[in-house]
Amino acid sequence: MTEQTRSIRRLVLGIFSIALGVVSLIAFFSITYIAGVGFLGGFYGVILIALGAGLILPKKESKNEEVR
């Protein structure tokens, strides 16, 4: 079995997404006094970090065999 490597584009987008997520989480702690904005910023940061990790991490191959 051959392993597919992630393209440079996916790695760059993943790192960029994680960086934006971290910035959003930092902003979450600095603007929590604004009621809705800080709350949404925290969720936005977590979602961006998860998206970046999904872009960078390799896919897990399933062990399903085709039935003929």
Over residues 9-19, the pLDDT tens digits come to 999 999 999 99
pLDDT band at 68 (very low <50, low <70, confident <90, very high): low
Question: Average pLDDT, whole number, for the chain?
Answer: 77
**Nearest of 55, 9, 45 to residue 37 by alpha carbon:** 45
Average pLDDT of the segment spanning 1-12:
72
3-state SS assignment for residue 38? helix
32 CB-near residues (< 8 Å, 6+ apart):
38
* pLDDT single digits (tens) 47-66: 999 999 998 888 776 666 55
